[in-house]
Homo-oligomer: A and B are copies of this chain.
Amino acid sequence: MTTPAQPTPREKDRFTVTYRLSGGRDEAEAKARDLIVEQTVEFPPDLIQEKHILDHVVGRIENLEQGPDGAYRARVSFAADDVGGDFTQFLNVLFGNVSLKPGVKIDRLGDLGRLGDKFRGPRFGCEGLRERLSAPGRALLATAVKPMGLSAEDLAERAHHFALGGIDIIKDDHGLSDQPYAPFEERVKRCAEAVAEANKKTGYRCLYAPNVTAGPGETERRARFAKGNGAGALLVSPGLCGFDAMRALADDDTLGLPILAHPAFLGGFTASPESGISHGCLFGQLMRLSGADASIYPHAGGRFSFPEAECRSIALGCAETMGRLKPIFPAPGGGMTLKRGDELKRFYGADAVYLVGGDLLRGGPDIVKTCETFRRMVSNPPLHPPF
């Protein structure tokens, strides 16, 4: 060995993560001791001679205690230097190798330390998005143009009707990318134009959010094309293109469009109670840290399976204090109907984007009128204050 790297004052800057660990106290402690090595040096500690590595580079168990569900929670700190400047490496320190081990689940992100300056999260947040929409103090209403298979012209006609009816955000269905049915550029131009025309008539500020999820380079190219052609927001599925691709769009000062995050492909992480990432961390905290201004997920009781408690944890992850990160909107969807309006408003209150899909077309041929009914429902104050 030649000169070992010396510990620096920066190595004292740490961030914390809480993990849920299966088993009794001894097993949980063993898992925590394993985790702080596995996520950093990934090397037998008895073979490490450098004191600064053992003292600073290896993770540190800050606390271990039983949680309300009986399972143990380990609050672990890692040196910010273990991450460096890459968001991908931040994800790796969080969950790279331990994702492959049984009985380890990320519960929540804690104090981000100086990483909170580096990774700035949402550009707009609730307040910024409300400003763009000129919609202070009320819940927002969103829908999607679909189904896949329609022409760009037909999708644009739907967007026009939705916008006339007062929908705040009209996104592409997340499965619309660049298929021959309705190629990306043609779709974006037509839909943005259709929404702009409707806005002229209504005086509303409806935003069209095309899906720009694609490969490296191409995601950014599509986002710029969208901005240059009248899109008012972007839809991104970080499970498909990587969290850092979304973060980069949010962080780009020359782009500056609000971002809706879609949960496609990410369900695997929340399927097990003992492994993966908690709903609140993944669809709340992590989407937010990765730059989403609103996080779409399926609300309880729709076509999907998220329990109410998990939906609540997502809303909390969108709103709770996380350094300087702006709070963002939970965007519950997944089979929402007009009939469930009051229930949803009791649950989420005004700080939410309600995402309604097929039900907007179930109210008869006059789509504009159905949208207006939805808008009134969403705009009225909630019956009860939320949690």
Taking beta carbons and an 8 Å cutoff, which residues of A are in contact with B? 1-5, 8, 10, 34, 38-44, 47-48, 50, 52-53, 56-57, 81-89, 91-93, 95-102, 144, 146-151, 153-154, 157, 173-175, 177-182, 213-220, 237, 239-242, 244-245, 247-248, 263-272, 274-277, 297-298, 303-306, 334, 357-358, 361-362
Q: How far is the CA of A378 from the CA of B323 in the complex (A)?
A: 51
CB-CB nearest in chain B for A240: B88
Chain B contacts of A277 at CB under 8 A?
268
In the bound complex, CA of A218 to CA of B245 (Å): 11
A-B pairs with beta carbons under 8 Å apart, 28 shown: A1-B157, A3-B153, A39-B175, A40-B149, A41-B148, A41-B149, A42-B146, A47-B362, A56-B149, A84-B180, A86-B218, A87-B215, A92-B175, A92-B177, A92-B265, A96-B265, A98-B267, A99-B264, A100-B304, A100-B305, A215-B244, A215-B248, A216-B241, A241-B244, A267-B275, A268-B268, A268-B269, A271-B275
Asked whether, in the complex, the Cβ of B267 is within 8 Å of the Cβ of A50, the reply is: no
Are A92 and B41 also in contact (CB < 8 A) when A147-B48, A153-B3 are? no
Q: In whole angstroms, what is the CA distance A3 to B153 when docked?
A: 8
Give the residues in chain B near A276, CB-CB below 8 Å. 267-268, 271
* CB-based contact A43/B146 at 8 Å: yes
A33 to B113, CA, bound (A): 48
Q: Which of the listed residues A39, A219, A239, A274 has the most CB atoms from chain B within 10 Å of its own CB?
A: A239
Further contacts, 10 of them, CB under 8 A, given A40-B149, A86-B214: A81-B180, A84-B178, A84-B179, A92-B240, A92-B264, A92-B265, A100-B266, A216-B248, A268-B276, A272-B275
Chain A at the B interface: SS class: loop
- A179 CA to B41 CA in the complex, in Å? 13
Contacts of A182 on B, CB cut-off 8 Å? 5
Contact B38 A150 (CB under 8 A): no
Q: Which residues of B contact A100 (CB under 8 A)?
A: 263, 266-267, 270, 297-298, 304-306, 334
Among candidates B92, B101, B181, B247, residue contacting A5 with C-beta atoms closer than 8 Å: B181
Q: Which of B48, B85, B98, B214 contacts A88 (CB 8 A)?
A: B214
Q: How far is the CA of A151 from the CA of B97 in the complex (A)?
A: 22
CA A3 – CA B179 in complex, angstroms?
Answer: 18
Q: Note all chain B residues with C-beta closer than 8 A to A1.
A: 154, 157
Who on chain B is nearest to A247 by CB? B215
Taking a contact as CB atoms under 8 Å apart, the answer to whether B88 and A241 are in contact is yes
Given the known A-B contacts A92-B175, A216-B242, A216-B248, are A102 and B305 also in contact in the complex, defined by CB atoms under 8 Å? Answer: yes
A273, closest chain B residue (CB): B272
What residues on B are CB-neighbors of A154 within 8 Å? 1-2, 4-5
Q: How far is the CB of A21 from chain B (nearest CB, A)?
A: 14
Given contacts A41-B146, A88-B237, are A99 and B5 in contact (CB under 8 A)?
no
Contact (Cβ within 8 A) A265 B91: yes
Q: Give Cα distance in the complex from A199 to B93, angstroms.
A: 33
Q: A149–B216 contact, CB under 8 A?
A: no
Contact B265 A99 (CB under 8 A): yes
Measured CA separation A217–B221 after assembly (Å): 12
Closest to A157 in B: B2
Are A357 and B265 in contact (CB-based, < 8 A)?
no
Q: Taking A215-B244, A240-B91, A264-B99 as contacts, is the C-beta distance between A50 and B175 under 8 angstroms? A: no
Q: Which residue of B lies closest to A271 (CB)?
A: B275
Q: Which chain B positions have C-beta within 8 A of A357?
A: 42-43
Chain B residues near A174 (CB-CB < 8 A)? 42, 92, 96
Contact A40 B83 (CB under 8 A): no
Q: What is the CB-to-nearest-CB distance from A35 to chain B, in angstroms, rounded to a whole number?
A: 11
